[in-house]
Amino acid sequence: MIDVDDLIELVRNYNPRTNEELLRKAYAYGRRMHAGQYRHSGEEYFTHPVAVAAILTEQRLDDATIVTALLHDTIEDTKSTYAEIAREFGEEIAELVDGVTKLTNLQLNSTETKQAENFRKLFMAMSKDLRVILVKLADRLHNMRTIRSLPPEKQVRKARETMDIFAPLAGRMGMQWMREELEDLAFRVLNPEARASIIRRFITLQRETGDVIHKITNDIRRELEKAGVEADVFGRAKKPYSIWRKMEEKEQSFSRLSDIYGFRIITRTEADCYCVLGAIHRRWRAVPGRFKDYISQPKSNGYRSIHTTVSGRDGKRVEVQIRTREMHEVAESGVAAHWAYRDGERVENPFAVDPAKWIASLTERFESAEDHDEFLEHVKLEMYSDQVFCFTPKGDVVKLPRGATPLDYAYAIHTRIGDSCVGAKVDGIRVPLWTRLKNGQSVEIITAEGQRPQASWIDIVVTGRAKAAIRRSLREEDRERFIKLGRELARVAFDHIGKKATDKALATAAKQLGLKDASELLARLGSAELTAREVVQALYPELAEGGEEIDMSRAVVGLQPDQTFKRASCCQPVPGERIVGISYRGQGVVIHAIDCEALAEFEDQPRRWVDLQWHSGTHAPVHSVSLEMTIRNDAGVLGRICTLIGEQRANISDLHFLDRKPDFYRLIIDVDLRDVEHLHAVMLALEAESDVAQVRRYRDLGRKP
């Protein structure tokens, strides 16, 4: 648990004028009130309010909000009262704590009518002071981060509520980072197999393509240097849930999904944003229909940025966001930017919206709603701004993604209706099947017996459900033709690596890929839903990768013929990382990573520095790297982690424990690896394991070279 001095330091980092006495008083009061209470994990309950307060310091919020976080459960869970908090901490904080308590008591996952009334209460509570919902969102974020200690049925209920309500609400408020983390944490509970599958695919992709993010980031930086624009460039892979949603919507396998990388460019001025856009579009081809200028047309929550998608390195689609530093601060904090502090003063960010005006614009139309259903519809139209809601002839609501067509609507009703669709009426008027539906429209589907889906429908629909149904129907119709073609493709691919595409081999590959049987595999191969390379890799990954291993004695380029080398124990560099050598008389050369802090002591000895680089190619898995891990203390956990490392074709050379607690272990594992990509694959696999709380590369400056 963070102690009071550390918490105060977190606040003082952005607000040197913080009321330290108030924070100490609130910390002591909260700890006293929650004394004797424990969480499901067995920790003291007060660790939770402190963690919520720490999350809010990341948003640089004012003292009143931090104090509210420390006290947010006192009225509900302890003998504390509104009057006592008002007397001890003032009316403002008492009102905020009371507001959070009322939000906590709302049963937001109940029936539609009850849910509508609770939404109304939620927005009314927000309208008094938006800081109430900021504390509640931070509360939910920490609860989701620690959800594993709850009973399974409660985990699912909380995760569904988070996915349906709190994640979209965070996004609506402009706190996109929180929305993504909430969605991913809920996704881990609701569909852990899918999330793990995506992470495994990422590992495979990294092994095949290398560090794409680093390469594209450098490409962008070179273009900005040519354009004479000073800017910061950051790249990242999109979150597993974001990728899963895209796969579902586009009905594509991971390997065929292109825009899974996102890049952010932070400029000095607004004019530079448009200079950067020009430089990006001159260098790479823009993807039509994927450009949005939120600088000239900001979102209602203050969000400003330019979005564009381009075909980058190796034809991969990458999404690029361009904005200034001030715009970025609002993009990270959303409406919360209004309360942000820096150096003890409220930040005057010209793009931060007035929360009172924002919440007023959001609630004024809800106040005029005559019944619960109308109110709930308004709420969802606002919160799920990327969706449309259409009506059946009987008045039922059908939820669809923006850009959906009458065909998507038909398949949303029932697969049989979609398959037999021959036409549609929107608001009573006959329209083409490719018409884009709008909010509030009434849709009627015209069907005919004997009608079958057409191949052109794939390009008309946008929902995963419709695309899957159409492909399934087309696949069944052409199944025999696809199986014949798939068998020939498999034969050629297996011949290429000196193997035979036997029935047993195909059946084993099908099982490895999660398919029903060999016929299903061949049908998908013939219809281009699977590639021959994927089939070969499922059985022979080492043959699919290819490449002769580089002998350790010639792993480094740049040494004199008579020089020997060894890796520095402090930073443990591996192939793929930038390196430099330090020569020792009679001991050869010691290789350090270029960012190793130990190099500072050699700055005044330039003659000892040797310019080196790793030999390109496939290295032997002999480079030991230390990983520091925090894992759950439970039966079989350590064994599963060792197995997981083995599955990544990495060998454990040493293991020792740093700390043993009733609920967790902290240990260091030495793993023998090929290169930096192998390291990333192992760490990614470990991070995907639910029993691993933390994993990081361990570097010890105290180790001798």
Which pair of structure tokens corresponds to residue 527? Answer: 């219809």
pLDDT of residue 347: 64
In this predicted model, what pLDDT tens digit does every residue of 263-272 receive, in sequence order? 999 999 999 9
Q: In this structure, are strands 609-611 and 443-447 parallel, antiparallel, or unpaired?
A: unpaired
Q: Quick one: pLDDT at residue 363?
A: 58
- Tell me, what's the pLDDT at 112? 46
Question: Which residue from 515, 518, 513 is spatially nearest to 491, judged by alpha carbons?
Answer: 518
Q: What is the pLDDT of residues 298-341, one digit of tens each?
A: 877 678 899 998 886 666 778 899 999 888 888 877 777 766 66
More confident residue, 396 or 155: 155
Q: What is the rounded CA–CA span in Å between residue 432 and residue 169?
A: 35
183-190 average pLDDT score: 91
Domains of the chain plus CATH, in order, are 4-190 (1.10.3210.10), 193-346 (3.30.460.10), 386-475 (3.10.20.30), 478-545 (no CATH), 549-619 (no CATH), 623-697 (3.30.70.260)
Taking alpha carbons only, the member of 459, 375, 469 closest to residue 413 is 469
Say what the pTM is. Answer: 0.52
User: Which residues are catalytically annotated?
Assistant: 76-77
- Of 188, 132, 48, 110, the C-alpha closest to 376 is 110
**Intra-chain end-to-end CA distance of the chain, in Å:** 36
Q: How many residues does the chain have?
A: 705
Decide the pairing of beta strands 588-593 and 565-567: parallel
User: How much is the pLDDT for 122?
Assistant: 62
Whether residue 366 is predicted with pLDDT greater than 70 in this model: the reply is: no
